[in-house]
Structures are given as structure tokens and as C-alpha cells.
């Protein structure tokens, strides 16, 4: 296990439903540390760069329209194996397949309104974080609880 950083986006539906706090608190309760956080109205250009891998797919135009439709919360989360830990907490992309106890399993119904984005691999996290955050916007710090959460 190693310390990683990953991208989390509370999507427009999560923001509009007033779930920012509950969604982020699930990750913090797990022991993950928020090291970057901001509210963003996503531009068409940023949306296209973030979802570049889906360009040409039938759902791509709708995806861009959706992510730019209202503000999002963008977070950089840090912790041991953070990418997989966040993915496990968020649940399957399709809420129909998401396990109870996960964000999507508990709070979402439709794949197109699944509340939250989480990077799917360390390399993806690195690419996505560079799109959404400048280095100066990410803060390294120690919490008094870190020694009780992370093994040295």
C-alpha cells in the first residue's frame, strides 16, 4: 500500500441535491484527507479535456452538457491506496449495480445522475488532477489523527 492522491468531483446532481457535505464526509470518515477543494462552474473546454476518452461515443454530448449545467465541487483526496479506496466508497458507475453502503448504492438511481466522479487508476488520477488543480492549490499537511489512520 502506498500514499496516493486522487480526484473526486461532486457532480451537478450532488451539488443541487445538497449532498456535498455528506459525500465528502464519507471519504473523511474513512480516513482519507482532503488536500484540495474548490467550487467550479465547468467550462466546455475543461469538460471536453476531462472526458476526452469518451469523445465519439453516443453519450458524449450529453455528458458534456450535464457536467457544465451547474457548479461542481472538485476535491483532491489523499491516503493509502486512495484511488481504490475512493472507488470502493463510491461504488459501481451504474447505481443499479452499486453495493449498499456505497455512495451510489445508497443515494443514486440513474447512471446519468450518479452523484460523484472518482479517478479509476493512479495514472488517470494524475492526469485528471493536473486538469483541475494547479500545484499551489494542493496542500500537504499532517493531521493529529494521521498516526492512528496510516501505518508508518
Residues 6+ apart with CB under 8 A from 74: 7, 8, 9, 36, 37, 38, 39, 40, 132, 133
**Residue 21 resides in a domain:** yes
Pair 114, 9: CB distance under 8 Å = no
- Active site residues per annotation: 117
> Is residue 48 domain-resident?
no
Domain around 87: 3-41+71-149
Question: Structural domain tally of the chain?
Answer: 1
At 53-81, the pLDDT tens digits run 999 999 999 999 999 999 999 999 999 99
pTM for this prediction: 0.95
- Asked if residue 99 is part of any domain, the answer here is yes
CA–CA separation, 142 and 139 (whole Å): 10
Confidence at 152, pLDDT banded by 50, 70, 90: confident
Indicate which CATH number applies to the domain containing 104: 3.30.70.141
Question: Per-residue pLDDT tens for 74-131?
Answer: 999 999 999 999 999 999 999 999 999 999 999 999 999 999 999 999 999 999 999 9
Amino acid at each position: 500500500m502506498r500514499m496516493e492522491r486522487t480526484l473526486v468531483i461532486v457532480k451537478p446532481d450532488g451539488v443541487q441535491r445538497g449532498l456535498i457535505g455528506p459525500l465528502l464526509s464519507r471519504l473523511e470518515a474513512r480516513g482519507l484527507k482532503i488536500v484540495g477543494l474548490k467550487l467550479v462552474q465547468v467550462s466546455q473546454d475543461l469538460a471536453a479535456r476531462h472526458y476526452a476518452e469518451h469523445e465519439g461515443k453516443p453519450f458524449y454530448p450529453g455528458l458534456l452538457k450535464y457536467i457544465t449545467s451547474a457548479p461542481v465541487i472538485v476535491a483532491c483526496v489523499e491516503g493509502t491506496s486512495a484511488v481504490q479506496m475512493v472507488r470502493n466508497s463510491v461504488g459501481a458507475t451504474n447505481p443499479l449495480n452499486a453495493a449498499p453502503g456505497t455512495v451510489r448504492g445508497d443515494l443514486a438511481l440513474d447512471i446519468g445522475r450518479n452523484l460523484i466522479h472518482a479517478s479509476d487508476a493512479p495514472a488517470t488520477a494524475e492526469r485528471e488532477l493536473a486538469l483541475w488543480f494547479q500545484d499551489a492549490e494542493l496542500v500537504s499537511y499532517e493531521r493529529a489523527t494521521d498516526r492512528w489512520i496510516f501505518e508508518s
